[in-house]
Amino acid sequence: MAQARMAARQRGEEQTRARILGVAAEWFGAHGYAATSIRDIAREVGVTVGAIYVHFPSKDRLLVAVYEEGVRRIGEAVDAVPATVPPWERLEAAARAHLDALFDNAGFARVIVRVIPTDVPEAAKDLRRLRHGYEARFRRLVDALDVAPGFDRTLLRLQLIGALNATQAWYKQGGGGADTKSIASQFVAALRTGAASGKGRRG
């Protein structure tokens, strides 16, 4: 009986933590880090401010947890692309997976795009670590590409990630326009044309 009560309590705490993360992601993403208070999040979740601090010792630690969850979700989507796919096709599939994850996990993804490490100095080190860990996936994908000698792979990677993240400003799911597959295909095709011709070389 005691074990059952303990297990039920643990499940309840895990559910509360998940609700806090979800609401925090929506608020940080919609209003920004500075404009969001712990009180805002607690009110939306339906718990006391103290209950938030039971799970997260400070606002910046809550932000780091939201970032970590967002990176995990998008990273898992990109990692699901089979390694056997040819390099350029794999990059396109990863770009589509990135886009799908952005829109399926809108709140978490919006935080990663909107809140940059320099916005929150007390959490900057952890936010950079999480960002770099995710971007390393695309670094490996770009390193595997066949491009013209001297082509700047770093620029290619940054262009692609920047373009993918910027879609949050204009893309609407189900709006009758381009879908994530066609967007990813066009982005990668444009980069592939430049990489094959040698445009974007260093120097």
CATH number for the domain including 63? 1.10.357.10
Report which of 183, 185, 99, 195 is spatially closest to residue 156, judged by C-alpha positions. 195
Domain presence at residue 39:
no
Q: Which residues pair with 151 in a beta bridge?
A: 201
pLDDT digits (tens, 9 = 90+) for 184-203: 999 999 999 888 755 555 54
Work out the pLDDT band at 92, boundaries 50, 70, 90: very high
Higher pLDDT, 123 or 178: 123
Domain presence at residue 76:
yes
Q: What's the burial of 145, exposed, middle or buried (CB within 10 Å: 0-12/13-18/19+)?
A: buried
Average pLDDT of span 147-170: 90
Q: Burial code of 62-96, b = ≥16 C-beta within 10 A, e = fewer?
A: bbbbbbbbbbebbbebbeebeeeeeebebbbbbbb
When divided into structural domains, the chain yields a total of: 1
State which residues form the domain around 74.
58-195
Task: Say how far apart CA 42 and CA 27 lie, in whole Å.
Answer: 11
Domain presence at residue 115:
yes
Under 8 Å CB-to-CB from 35, ≥6 apart: which residues? none
Q: Give the three-state DSSP class for 201.
A: strand
Average pLDDT of span 160-182: 80
Domain presence at residue 48:
no
Q: What's the burial of 174, exposed, middle or buried (CB within 10 Å: 0-12/13-18/19+)?
A: exposed
**Token couple for 135:** 């971007």
pLDDT over threshold 70, residue 3: no
Write down the pLDDT at residue 177. 65
Domain presence at residue 46:
no
Please give the biggest Cα pair distance in the chain.
72
Domain presence at residue 13:
no
Domain presence at residue 8:
no
Average pLDDT of span 139-157: 91
- What mean pLDDT value characterizes the chain? 88
Write down the pLDDT at residue 196. 72
Higher pLDDT, 77 or 56: 56
Domain presence at residue 163:
yes
Under 8 Å CB-to-CB from 175, ≥6 apart: which residues? none
Across 62-66, 174-178, 180-184, least confident range: 174-178
pLDDT cut 70: percent of the chain above it: 89
Task: Give the count of beta carbons closer than 10 Å to the beta carbon of residue 10.
Answer: 10
